[in-house]
Amino acid sequence: MKTAIVTGCNGFIGSAVVRELLENGYSIWAVGHNSHFSNLSEDSRIQRVSCDLKDIASLPTMIPAGEYSAFYHFAWEGSAGPRRGDTKLQLDNVQWTVNALRAAKELGCRRFFGAGSIVEQETIAAVYTQGNRPGTGYVYGGAKCTAHAMCMCVAAEIGIELVWGKITNAYGAGEYSPRLVNSVIRKCLRGETPRFTSGSQNYDFVYIDDVARAIRLIGENGRAFHEYLIGSSNARPLKSFLMEMREAIAPDMEFQFGSVPFTGVDLPISAFDCEQTQNDTGFRANISFAEGCQKTLAWWREIEGRT
């Protein structure tokens, strides 16, 4: 039986990856903080380890050394909300990620999966454009870029295979954050008119089940010291996604475009190219945006007791 270590196991993405690994014959050491494991199933193949992120370097005292297929690292504080702009916290996250990498090597893991984001590319575009004044949300993106760079160097030095997954925009059942898909669905449930930018900026979304499968395949088949974009392979202007959502979940509602200013970075469609991910790992998204929105709506209705 293959064995993996997963940090951030109780989070939206981490818990989905745990389910995906279990379905594919893995046993798992699931690492969460403050004994938070509510999103994990009762399964004898899961060993639970409570460890705060700041103490991640001590994992080798909590988990026996052995031969592990991979170490999947999702634990990251301040990934949403105002703490994305907390410079000290985000710099701490960088160090904790490097500490996790070193712990993975000490534990006997063959490879380390680092959870990156397309915001890394957005950050580079925002920060290195002359005269631009990027918002504090790019502090988080800068930390992801830095963690990526440092892990590449440290992994090469200590002799562990690094693969880095850049997630576009994960969404789906199980996520409580106020990000775009959730915000729109909850407004629709309340009968409020969703308001947006013009929606001309390029975007991509990928459903959580597809994200988890991509991460497993990258962990298994990705080439060492490569990065892989995790997306739908159907990137397009945001307005197109939102109109697809409207038709799928709220065809009688009005979606208002152009009333919200756009202050972010508009990446070219080429930035969302998932061809290397597909070629190296065999991953291709299966769940359309319309289907994913319907699944997410059904989950929110269940959570809020709506019919």
Q: What is the pLDDT of residues 193-213, one digit of tens each?
A: 999 999 999 999 999 999 999
Distances (CA, A) of 220 to 16, 33, 110, 184: 16, 26, 10, 35
The answer, yes or no, to whether residue 115 has pLDDT greater than 80, is: yes
Of 59-73, 102-116, 293-307, least confident by mean pLDDT is 293-307
Q: How far apart are CA 214 and CA 201, in angstroms?
A: 25
Q: Where are the domains of the chain?
A: 2-167
- CB half-sphere exposure, 230, CA atoms < 13 A: 29
The answer, yes or no, to whether residue 85 has pLDDT greater than 90, is: yes
- pLDDT of amino acid 306: 58
Average pLDDT over residues 72-80: 95
Q: How far apart are CA 236 and CA 181, in angstroms?
A: 16
| End-to-end Cα separation, the chain, in angstroms | 42
**pLDDT tens string 134-148:** 999 999 999 999 999
pTM, 2 dp: 0.96
134, 85 Cβ separation under 8 angstroms: no
The CATH number of domain 2-167 is 3.40.50.720: yes
- pLDDT of amino acid 264: 87
The answer, yes or no, to whether residue 307 has pLDDT greater than 60, is: no
The answer, yes or no, to whether residue 163 has pLDDT greater than 70, is: yes
